[in-house]
Amino acid sequence: MRCTNCWGMIYRFEQVDVFTEERFAGNPLAVFTDAAGLTGEQMQLIAREMNLSETTFVVAPTNPACVARYHIYTPGRELPFAGHPTLGTAFVLARAGRVAAGTREFNLEAKAGVIPIRLSGETASPRALFFTIPEVVFGPKYENRERLADALNVKPADLLAGAPLEQIGCPVLHLTIGLNTPADVDRVVLHGPLLERLLGGEECDGVYAFAPTGTPNHFYCRLLCFENVGVVEDPATGSAAGPLGAYLVRYGLASGGDLVEIEVSQGVKMGRPSTLHVLVHRDGPQARRVEVGGSAVFVLRGELEI
């Protein structure tokens, strides 16, 4: 909600933790629930001030099939789509009564297009929410495993066999790196200049490192971001976990029938443990549709005067 006083405009926000059932875990998100009147420059400044992985700004939809439109900003730039901001924004809007009671499916409008949402539980207090990610993009592959291992502070023998070094995204691209164990993932450190040379100027927002845990279809992940994002490491990344699901199915690293259910643990090394559920609806080795879901919890609310 927005109001005026003698000093200026008041913009209210809620902060939630996403991909967790407990406060002070998961990935925190600030949602400005009525951002009408804010410019893109102001949204960017506010996101830098909030200093979270992302901040969202809700405005009226341009598509009548959508409940609302939302802008996603990291401290460094605007994103066309991201996962934890989508789930967190949907959670806040449902709790605030912006989604009609009894609704189980609705749409949000992102810069990337219409994002379908479905929820379980009461509309005003969802137990879990799932969103369908935009089409997964498979980008460049990299064959020089030794040099990439060196750029990530691991050994070539630590790289997971049968896991191509490949950029994937929906549409923001991340270099996806399979490693043998969660301990190998925890050793990853980005050597920026070397990685930039190896990527050859290809657009990329960071490295998504994953490893099997020993439990079928359960993977341990970290996302380490490049400098342009304005974030060092992200505790939970739906826009990386969803494409990872499509990648795992494509290369036979996850098993299942027409629906492959995958669980991703992220944020553990940061002390912000997060759980993401990825559902890959597939035709053979190809992902037909990918959903990402999880829970969220309310943490605090506040207001900002502009």
Instruction: State pTM to two decimals.
Output: 0.95
Q: Are residues 250 and 159 in the same domain?
A: yes
Residue 93: closest CA among 62, 68, 73? 68
Distance of CA 14 to the CA centre of its chain: 18
Do 200 and 152 lie in one domain? The reply is yes
CA distance 65 to 62: 9
Q: What is the 3-state secondary structure (H, E, C) of 245-278?
A: HHHHHHCCCCCCCCEEEEEEEECCCCCCCEEEEE
The answer to whether residues 25 and 169 belong to one domain is no
Active site residue 54: yes
Same domain, 103 and 161: no
Please tell me whether residues 167 and 74 are part of one structural domain.
Answer: no
Catalytic residue among 14, 22, 54, 227: 54
Same domain assignment for residues 19 and 42: yes
Closest by Cα among 181, 158, 243, 157 to 206: 243
Residues 183 and 65 in one domain: no
Same domain? 126 vs 153: no
Q: Do residues 109 and 61 lie in contact, with contact meaning Cβ atoms separated by under 8 Å?
A: yes
**Integer Cα distance of 9 and 17 in angstroms:** 26
148 and 69 share one domain: no
221 with 125, same domain: the answer is: no
CA-based nearest residue to 28, from 38, 13, 39: 13
The gap from C-alpha 76 to its chain's centroid, in whole angstroms, comes to 16
Q: Clarify whether residues 71 and 204 are in a common domain.
A: no
Query: What is the number of structural domains in the chain?
Result: 2
pLDDT digit string (tens) for the chain, length 306 residues: 444 444 579 999 999 999 999 999 999 999 999 999 999 999 999 999 999 999 999 999 999 999 999 999 999 999 999 999 999 999 999 999 999 999 999 999 999 999 999 999 999 999 999 999 999 999 999 999 999 999 999 999 999 999 999 999 999 999 999 999 999 999 999 998 899 899 988 889 999 999 999 999 999 999 999 888 889 999 999 999 999 999 999 999 999 999 999 999 999 999 999 999 999 999 999 999 999 999 999 999 999 998
Asked if residue 205 lies in contact with residue 173, where contact means CB atoms within 8 angstroms, the answer is yes
pLDDT at 12: 98
Provide the domain limits for residue 189: 137-293
188 with 90, same domain: the answer is no
CATH of the domain at 159: 3.10.310.10
